[in-house]
């Protein structure tokens, strides 16, 4: 079953230029690399290959093909904009960098293979969405074999589905997908989000649904 998000209900407070900048940088660098416009030494430096700083950060800018790039940028656009518009553009850049490094670290510790792509960092942003907006509805395009359509689903349900998929992939292996980076990013994003909300570094508005922190503290609300 294929699920592609295209919108999440959130209150927009600022223009998410920081997320637009990241999306644009990923697209530009990936396309230049795909069409042979990048020097080999620069390309090699950006690959996640051990604990080299350029690779730890730069791997998010590279993608293995157009489908890989487009798929990741759709997720980053939907979830990144939601987080960025309701935090702060500068804070968002710090959050994205932290998720990038945590996802890379978990991948290196659990897998260690070469890796490229922004999916680990994006899963960190998805983890932040789970903490900030677990009850908000996400509009998705779904596709099963020859049948498809659109529907809305609570964020926590969708993220749980992806988590189970990544967990299965991490332990079954195969597919050339950095599942451990996905899991590390998600866990990192959840941890960062919980701490940021608890300390007041990130604050939700009175119009937002209950955060995960509030739900765990006993402020109950219907999850269905």
| Nearest C-alpha neighbor of 101 from the set 120, 128, 129, 125 | 120
Hey, what are 141's tokens?
């395009």
Q: What is the pLDDT of residue 49?
A: 97
- Rounded to an integer, what distance in angstroms lies between the CA atom of residue 35 and that of residue 39? 11
**Tell me: the pLDDT tens digits for 19-45?**
999 999 999 999 999 999 999 999 999
Q: With the C-alpha atoms ordered 178, 183, 188, 190, is the resulting torsion angle positive or negative?
A: positive
| Burial profile 18-52: b = 16 or more Cβ within 10 angstroms, e = fewer | bbeebbeebbebbeebbeeebeeeebeebbbbeee
Confidence of residue 167 (pLDDT cuts 50, 70, 90): very high
Do the strands 137-144 and 2-8 form a parallel or antiparallel pair, or are they unpaired?
antiparallel
Q: Is 8 helix (H, G, I), strand (E, B) or coil?
A: strand
Confidence of residue 203 (pLDDT cuts 50, 70, 90): confident
Rama region for 173: left / alpha / beta (φ>0; ψ in -120 to 50; rest) = left
């Amino acid at each position: 079953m294929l699920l592609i998000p295209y919108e999440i209900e959130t209150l927009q407070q600022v223009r998410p230029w920081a997320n637009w900048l990241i999306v644009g940088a990923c697209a530009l660098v990936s396309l230049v690399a795909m069409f042979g416009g990048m020097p080999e030494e620069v390309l090699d430096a950006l690959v996640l290959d051990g604990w080299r700083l350029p690779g730890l950060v730069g791997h998010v800018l590279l993608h293995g093909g157009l489908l890989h790039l487009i798929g990741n940028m759709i997720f980053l656009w939907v979830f990144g904009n939601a987080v960025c518009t309701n935090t702060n553009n500068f804070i968002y850049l710090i959050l994205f960098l932290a998720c990038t490094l945590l996802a890379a670290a978990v991948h290196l510790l659990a897998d260690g293979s070469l890796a490229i792509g922004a999916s680990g960092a994006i899963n960190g942003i998805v983890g932040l969405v789970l903490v900030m907006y677990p009850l908000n509805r996400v509009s998705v395009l779904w596709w099963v074999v020859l049948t498809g359509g659109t529907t809305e689903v609570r964020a926590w349900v969708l993220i749980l589905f992806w988590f189970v998929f990544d967990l299965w992939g991490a332990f079954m292996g195969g597919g050339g997908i950095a599942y451990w980076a996905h899991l590390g990013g998600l866990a990192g994003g959840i941890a960062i989000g919980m701490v940021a909300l608890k300390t007041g570094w990130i604050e939700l508005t009175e119009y937002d649904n209950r955060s995960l922190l509030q739900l765990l503290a006993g402020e109950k609300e219907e999850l269905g």
